[in-house]
Amino acid sequence: METEGSALTVVAEHDGSRRLALPEGAHVLTVSYAGLDRIEEPVAVVAGQTVTKNFELATGICKVEAVAASGLRDGSARAIQAQRQSENPKWLAATDTFGNPAAKPGELIQRLPGVSTDVVGSDVRTLYVRGMGPGFSSLMVDGERVATSTGTSGSRDYQIEQLGTGNLESVELIKAPQPEQDANAVAGFVNLVSRRAFDAPGRRITVSGGVMWRLRQTDESPFKDRPDNLDLLSVADSDVFNVLGGRKNLGVAFNVNRRISAATRDEAGPGGVLHNFSQTYLNPNTTPLTRIFGSDDIGYEGRAHHAGLSLDYKLSPDAFVFFRGANNTNDQFQEYYRPGIGNPTATAANFAPGAVPPAVLMAWESILFTEIEMVVAAGARPAPTGDRVAYLPLPWLTPSPRDSKVCHVAAGTPLIFVAGVDAGETGSAREQMKTIIERIGSVLYETGSSYRNLVEATYYLAAPESRTVLGDIRGVCFDPTRAPAASALQVPGQGRPGRTAMIDLIAIPVK
């Protein structure tokens, strides 16, 4: 909205209203909106009085004879207008652009610049903004952060396929946050904007249905698509009501929809379900360096149901309260057909006789930080202290009496590697840790070493109390002046049942 003859330019509120303070006299107001024709209207302002002016914008593009009509949908026009007037760089896509209210947000977001996706079956599951994973972006609804998780961990990752677009007006990709937003999303923000009844010119009831059918000549999956069901069904209703003596001060928008889709996925390699199979059946009680390969056809039927309710109550022209509610379910029944070829004796078969290295393979579970261990050859350099080994701190960290950060071993000093020491499957976390320390002590004695000659240790902890127990025992067994370079990793399991802890380490002989 512009005022002729002055530099005054303002943007209307979300509902199209705007208050202006103009000097007394005659003025010409110019109003414009994406996809609609500009309007110029004169207005006379009298001191001390309020003048109300209504502008009804239309487009001449749609006023054609019996040929064809083209123009912007309401949601698309609002998205373009919001993007054009945004104070920070953002990209928007309206949910009605593609006309499928039972779609998923990922189908819209993947069309925005700088976004790549990971498609599982037929749905967009993972978003990569600026080439970074979902943990580097933040998911919001109406500008507010929402709790996110993949369902199997406490990470910040989110799976966008779990949501629906029936109760959404548009999706926004914000790559540059505003000052009031958190600076914890390096890649950017994905904002889902809810649908409001005030955004529609009047009552709007929408019912849509459809069939999804993808034909694959080689598809023999039991879940292959068939054009015999109503796979897409959506019902939406929105209206504005007069309540408590007000005029059009309550907006209600409600929607329910479902989407049923069948998908197949082809996989090849050692991962996925084959990894679990190999750990369970091929080599459960020995070192897990098992080699396995296979290919498969995974079929599943996905049933997604979404419902949303949006309530907006105007307290005044400038203030309102709102309620947003949504329920999203996405159930998938899967069947795997995956033959695999595995070698349960791969450890011995893939190394030279007598040269099988100690090995521990773990799934690391941590939401706090990442630790990186390295064993680096330093060449023919003596230890900085003149001894065979020097225990050094990092200058930016507070030294700990239970572990060091750098352990320098002089060239030519023999190394003793011990891997995968556990206590079996019985006993409490404290009892198992005590047994592990006793077993390590026996191994060190047999190899000519001791606890005062450790140079590296890694502790794999599967029980919450194991970390406390480990700290207590280290305070007794370890020399605080010769603490090894060590890391404690919280893991979901040890690969075999009942184990609460496992330790591997590197030591040097006493002499």
How many CB atoms are closer than 10 A to CB 339? 8
Q: Count CA within 13 A, CB hemisphere, residue 209.
A: 6
In the block, which residue shows the tokens 């001791």?
450
pLDDT of residue 384: 64
Are 337 and 280 in contact by the 8 Å Cβ rule? The answer is no
Q: Strands of 168-174's sheet, edge to edge? A: 90-94, 168-174, 188-194, 137-141, 144-145
Torsion of CA 157, 374, 284, 363, to 10 degrees: -10
Instruction: Record the tokens describing residue 442, joined without a space.
Output: 């026996």
Instruction: Record the tokens describing residue 331, joined without a space.
Output: 């159930």
What is the helix (H) or strand (E) element at residue 444, kind and residue range? helix 429-446
How many CB atoms are closer than 10 A to CB 470? 22
CA distance 364 to 199: 48
Enumerate the domain spans of the chain. Answer: 197-348, 363-507
Closest CA to 306 of 240, 236, 229: 236
Instruction: Record the tokens describing residue 355, joined without a space.
Output: 């040269």
Domain 363-507 sits in CATH 3.30.1330.40: yes
Closest CA to 82 of 144, 171, 152, 167: 171
Q: Using N-to-C axis directions, what is the helix angle for 429-446 and 466-477, rounded to 10°? A: 40
Residues of the chain with pLDDT under 50: 62-64, 67-72, 283-289, 366-368
Closest CA to 461 of 485, 426, 436: 436
pLDDT of residue 368: 47
CA distance 378 to 141: 52
